[in-house]
Structures are given as C-alpha cells and as structure tokens.
Amino acid sequence: MRYTFRSVSSVKKVVASTLLAMVLPMAVVSAAQAAENTTDLYRLQNTSGVTLLTTSASEASSAQSKYGYEMMADYDIPASDGGVTYRRFYNANKVDFVYLEQGSNEASKAVSKYGYVDQGNSFKASRSKTDFYTIPIYRFLKGNTHQYATNVDSQYLTQDGWTQEKVEFWVHDYDPVVPASTARHDKEPAQFPADSIFVDPSASTAGDGSIASPYATLQSAIDAASAYSTIVLREGTYHESLILNDKYLSVMGYPGENVVFDGASKLTNWRRSGSFYVTEWTYDWNHAANFNGKPNDWNTPGWSWLNEDAKLAAWPEQVWVNGDALGQVDSIDQLEAGKFYIDFGKDKLYLAQEPTNVTAATIQKAFHIGNENVPSKRLKLEGITFKNYASSNNQMAAGTVFSANVDVTNVTMENMSTSALGLYEDNIHVDGVTITNAGLVGILGNASSGVTIENSTITDVNTQHFNSAPVSGAIKVTSSDNLTIRNNMISNTQEKPKGAGIWCDESCDQVLVEGNTVTNVEENAIFMELSDHVTIKNNKVSDVENDGIRLFNTSNAIVRGNDVNIDTRAFSAFQDSRTPGPSMWYAMDKRMRKPTTQAEWDKLLANYMPWRIQNISIENNKFTTTVKGSSRPVFVVHAPGMSLNGLDALTSFKGNTVTGAAGTKYLIAVQQGTGNPTLYWSVEELMAALK
C-alpha cells in the first residue's frame, strides 16, 4: 500500500461480524423482488466485501437486520430509462454475487463454466453514460469475491488488494423528471426531481415553494428543505451568498433562465471632500496574502506571494465605475482617476473621478458547500452565474466545495477578487464551468481524491498580479490523487507576473491531463511538480513564455500525443535536491498522519513517491520552438548542480518530432552524470543514444 488515506469504505465500516456463508436465501429474495415495484437500486456490502444489489426495499432491510450487510448507496432507475436488463448470479462455493447483462456471453459462461446460478433477480441499467446524471458502477475482484463500487472508492480498494476489472453498468443517482412548461420558459427544460423546491426573487413572501407559488428567498427554501432536496432558482438577481452547511442540498438555475448571484452593491450618498468624492465604507476584510490569513508573507526570494509592483494584490476590495474596474491604492496621495482609496480607520471610500454608477463588491463568499459527513447521493450546483465577490485568500476561493460527491455544472464565475473555485473533498466533478477575471487562481484543489475538471473555460486569471510562485495560474492542485483535467480551454495567464496553465504540485498522484488547449500563458503551460504517476496526452499548447510541458521532480510519467508549438522550450524535465522527509513535510500529502519517530518516517518513506525524474515515457509528440536563433533547447532533461542519468530516466522516446526555428543552436539536451547536459542535434541522435 502506497499511502494511508481517509477512505469512504473505512468510514462506512460494518459493525456486525458476518460469516461468508451468511447470504440471503434465494426464495426470500425472489419473493421480495416480485412483490415490489420500485425504481430504487440499493447497494449493500458485508464485511468480506460481498456486494448485494437489489431493487427490493424489504430485501435490503433483511440483508441489514439478519445478515450484517451495510447500506452503501441508493441509486435511482427512472421509469423512462429503458436501459438493458442485468441479472444477479450467485456461487455458493465462492459465496459471491455477480451482476451480468441478460443474455450476454459472460452471463452464459458464469453458469456453464464458473458454477454461478441465475437467481432470477434483475434490474435495468445502461451500458454507457446516457446523460450527466449517470454514474459508472465498477466491478472489482479480490480472490474469489467480486465487489461493485463507484470511483470514489477505487483507490482504496486497489490499495487493499482489489483489482478493478471493468465498468459493469451505469445508473442514475437521483430520479429525474421533466417539469411542466411555463410561460416564462421557451426551451426544453432540463431534468430535476418532481419534489423540487422553487425560489423566485420577484415572488411574494407568502409562497410555499411550489413551482406555482415559489419562495421569495433562497434562505426560505433552505430552511424548508429536507436532506437531498433540490432547490430550483427562477430568473433574477440574488444579492447574497449561497451557503449550504447543514443539509445535503442541490441547487440549480431553472433551465433556460438567467440566474445571477451578484456580490456587488451600488454605492450612494457621495459628497465632495476637497478634490475627491467620498462615501461610507464599513467593510473590514482580511488582507493577508497567505491562505492561513496571517499577515506575514513568505519572503524567500522567488517564492513570495507579492511583488513590489502589486503590493495590494491580496486586498479583496473591488470597485467599478460604469462597469470599469478601478485599481486600489493604499494612500490618498496616490489617488487619481481610475483608482480608489479606502481609509479603514475612518470607514471612508474615496474616488478622484465623478461617482457615476459606482458599484463595489460587498459580499465575500459566492457559495460554500460543506458538510463533514459523506453524502450517499451526489449533490449538484448547476446553471448559475456568480459575479463580483470579494473573497480573501484565507477563505480559499469565492466558491468552495468542502463536501464529497458534488457536481458543479454549467456554472459561470466572473470578477472574483482572489481565487474563483476551490475543491477540497473527494469525488467532485466540475463540468462546463466558465471562469473569467480571477484575482489569483481560477480553480484551486487540495487534499482530494477522484476530482474531475472537464469541458471548462478559464481565462484572465491572476489579474491582481501575484507572483507566479507559489500558486498563481488557471488550475493549481496539491496533495491530491486520481485527478482528471480534461478538455478544458485555458488562456491569458500571461501579463507578467501571471502564472501557470495547469499546475499539479506537492505530492499529486495518478493524474490525467488530457485534451486541453492551453494558450497565452506566462509560466509553464502544463506543470507537474513533486508528483507521481502522471499522464499528459493529446493536449495543444501555444504562446507560452516559459515551458510548454514541464516535469519537475516527477516520476512515472507518460507524455503522449501532445502538440506544443511555442516561442520557448517545448518540453523539460528538471530535478533538484528536494526529497520527501521531515524538512519537506509541508509538500507531502498531509492526509497521512505525520510520523513522530524515525521508525515511522522510515516506513512511510519506503513507500512514498520518490520526487525524482525517472520512468518517463515520451511518445508521438510534436515539440516545436518558433523563435529563430534560440539558445534554449526544444527538449531538455537536466538536474542543475546534481548528478542525473537522463538517458535512464527516459524509458521510452519514440514517434516524436522535435523542431527548432532557423538558427536554433541545438534541439535536445539530456544530462548524463554531472555538469552540463549532452547536446543532441536530432531526434535520431537521441534515440541512438537510448539504445
């Protein structure tokens, strides 16, 4: 086992001690199934990992009360979902259930070759993803036992010796229905539950939450909602935060309608004060650059959050005049047109220009989804625009997800003072999100497993000009595993200093970066640092100030099918002296318990990722540098001041093209031993050296 993580499986550990032979009698199972007509599919599990899937509520109850099974999840199969039929098979000798498609060759072999008996129980499911709300059910094998689970448990099962065999089928995690059309809605509506609670900011306060008589405020809907309810917001502007702490709730904008959460207010009551205009300002927010909210900044050269040209980058205040953003100064002596100044001691805000249509961010958090327990069904935030919020860095982003199993879909975030979206729990799915004008980072992630960020657009980030290190850029994820970043459009992180495109750091493991387009980036476009088991494939990179793809102290990497066409270095793999250990605990995965003895450190480090350039496969890429006469190589493997056998680190190098513009001094540089790298003038020379 490589790591010790928080496991959903361990949280849901069965208390009852169950013998392997204790399974449900077939006659009882069949009778219970036939007597009920339900769309629920229950997933239960005993202490040995045997999985029971059933559509019978009474069978599920009996399995728990009589045989020690634990309820793991409750999926829904909509009546309108035709799907295919899956049947349950049982092997008494192995004490094992499997669930196979009716009439399939695999089902036939289970009976004729492997001794399974068709129990006659069945349910409907899909062979593939049918819409956003379907989730995959994976089949795992350990010894003679099969287990069925979602990807949230995939890593933990693998560490415990289970082998993932395949995706067996797909199911819904709630029962979607199509609402009746209304006069305000002229597009085909999306699906949401029939018992949804509705909110309309233009409604009267006497509403009951129905679609015909909605609540007037979001808080009224939250107060009335039970766990796993869905709140549907009608068109309008909501000047508030969306905070979901105590209940498992999904919130979505009504399909086809413009639902906007706006953190800005209009500033009024202006008066003349000498050559300036002044109004009241009573907001006092944290100005620290660090995520811990403390005033001291990192001052290590090259690693300070702030630079001299943007000392107020972490100040979250935002002011607009006629929609144009103003810059902030910290002295009235610096105030001029296009700037604003706040005297926090006197609660005054000053402008040097006429205060026509002045708005300011007066709310810090756009949304927060958080609950310490793991929901059994997925929660959703969908179809909403959030704009003009003033989050401080210690709030970890304007919109934060601290609950597992959450989908953030078709959400737009604009004009966030620091970072836009923060992901801090397991199995979060970000799909179709648009982020524009984020002061620091577009999407932050930390200490999570099974996060997917896909089909999203992130532009104009680090608009406050924080230093590139330690975090700025479009996507920055740390200490996370089973991470997928796929099919995103990332651009304009370039005006110095801005930041990276996609940056995984501080012990990320099992990372897939696939099909992204990254352009107009000031730092590295795709940057894997202090990480392990990464795959970077089929990405397109252009117009980058630093490296197109960089591996830094990262091992077990596959770089395949990428098209990198930039002015500088297309690919680099660098090694420095950092190694896992007590002095580098801050960069290790702190989901583990910190060792307290040398023996504990030795045990942990024996299985921890190496933070070394090793086992790198480079295949079928197109690496191009376009600057004529460039002194930089197009492709480099290097460990400045250290010993590195770069040829050994490259376990595969084939099918690549490496092209420099006219006058490029050399194409490839790979360090062998100590000192300067060995130079290769062509791909063929490098491939010959690798043989």
Taking only the tens place, the pLDDT of each residue in 667-685 is: 999 999 988 899 998 999 9
Indicate whether 496 pLDDT > 90. no
pLDDT on residue 131 = 58
pLDDT on residue 602 = 96
DSSP 215: B
Indicate whether 279 pLDDT > 90. yes
Least confident of 23-27, 473-477, 489-493, 597-601: 23-27
Query: For every residue of 298-319, which 3-state class applies, written as one string?
Result: CCCCCCCCCCHHHCCCCCCCCE
Cβ(564)–Cβ(549) below 8 Å? yes
Q: Report how far residue 622's alpha carbon sits from residue 560's, in angstroms, rounded to the nearest whole number.
A: 9
What is the percent of the chain where pLDDT is above 70? 86
Average confidence (pLDDT) over 364-390: 91
Average confidence (pLDDT) over 447-471: 91
Residues 6 or more apart whose Cβ sits within 8 Å of residue 323 = 357
Q: How confident is the model at residue 342 (pLDDT cuts 50, 70, 90)?
A: very high
Q: Of 337 and 30, which is predicted with more confidence?
A: 337
Least confident of 104-108, 218-222, 469-473: 469-473
Q: How confident is the model at residue 10 (pLDDT cuts 50, 70, 90)?
A: very low
pLDDT on residue 171 = 83
Residues 6 or more apart whose Cβ sits within 8 Å of residue 127 = 83, 84, 101, 169, 170
pLDDT on residue 524 = 95
| Count of CA atoms in the C-beta half-sphere (13 A) of 400 | 20
Average confidence (pLDDT) over 491-502: 76
Average confidence (pLDDT) over 416-444: 96
Q: Hey, what are 532's tokens?
A: 């392990």
Q: What digits encode the pLDDT tens for the residues 318-333?
A: 999 999 999 999 999 9
Average confidence (pLDDT) over 612-638: 89
Indicate whether 529 pLDDT > 70. yes
Q: Report how far residue 524's alpha carbon sits from residue 347's, in angstroms, rounded to the nearest whole number.
A: 42
Place of tokens 């001794």: 115
Residues 6 or more apart whose Cβ sits within 8 Å of residue 459 = 435, 436, 489, 490, 491, 492
Average confidence (pLDDT) over 601-626: 96
Q: How far apart are the first and last CA of the chain?
A: 34
Q: What digits encode the pLDDT tens for the residues 45-93?
A: 898 889 999 988 899 999 999 888 988 877 877 554 557 899 999 999 9
Q: Which amino acid is at 445?
A: G
**Planar angle of CA 341, 345, 347, nearest 5 degrees:** 65
Diameter of the chain by CA atoms?
A: 94
DSSP per-residue letters across 432-448: S-EEEEESSEEEEEES-
pLDDT on residue 368 = 96
Q: Of 183 and 267, which is predicted with more confidence?
A: 267
Q: Of 218 and 376, which is predicted with more confidence?
A: 218
Pairing of strands 145-149, 134-142: antiparallel
Q: How confident is the model at residue 348 (pLDDT cuts 50, 70, 90)?
A: very high
Highest-scoring range by mean pLDDT, 107-111, 208-212, 304-308, 386-390? 386-390
Q: How confident is the model at residue 7 (pLDDT cuts 50, 70, 90)?
A: very low
Q: How confident is the model at residue 604 (pLDDT cuts 50, 70, 90)?
A: very high
Q: Taking the model in full, what pTM does it have?
A: 0.74
pLDDT on residue 25 = 37
Average pLDDT of the chain, as a whole number: 86
Q: Which residues pair with 493 in a beta bridge?
A: 521
Q: How confident is the model at residue 296 (pLDDT cuts 50, 70, 90)?
A: low
Q: Report how far residue 526's alpha carbon sits from residue 667's, in angstroms, rounded to the nearest whole number.
A: 20
Q: Report how far residue 499's alpha carbon sits from residue 593's, in angstroms, rounded to the nearest whole number.
A: 32
Pairing of strands 70-76, 51-54: unpaired
pLDDT on residue 84 = 87
Q: Is the peptide bond before 179 cis (omega within 30 degrees of 0)?
A: no
Average confidence (pLDDT) over 450-466: 93
Residue 605, SS3? helix
* 276-280, strands of its sheet edge to edge: 271-273, 276-280, 348-351, 339-343, 327-329
Phi, psi of 128, deg, nearest 5 = -150, 175
pLDDT on residue 181 = 32
Q: What digits encode the pLDDT tens for the residues 138-155?
A: 899 999 899 998 865 665
* Alpha-helix runs per DSSP H in 328-398: none
Pairing of strands 614-619, 555-560: parallel
Q: What digits encode the pLDDT tens for the residues 152-193?
A: 566 567 767 888 888 888 887 543 333 333 333 233 335 778
pLDDT on residue 123 = 87
The 10 Å CB-count burial string (b at 16+, else e) for 27-54 is eebeebbeeeeebbbbbbbbbbbbbbbb
pLDDT on residue 629 = 62
Residue 240, SS3? coil
Cβ(319)–Cβ(392) below 8 Å? no
Indicate whether 116 pLDDT > 80. yes
Cβ(448)–Cβ(424) below 8 Å? yes
Q: What digits encode the pLDDT tens for the residues 655-666?
A: 999 998 877 777
Nearest Cα neighbor of 169 from 220, 211, 204, 134 is 134
Q: How confident is the model at residue 533 (pLDDT cuts 50, 70, 90)?
A: very high
Q: How confident is the model at residue 128 (pLDDT cuts 50, 70, 90)?
A: confident
Indicate whether 234 pLDDT > 80. yes
pLDDT on residue 145 = 92
Average confidence (pLDDT) over 427-437: 96
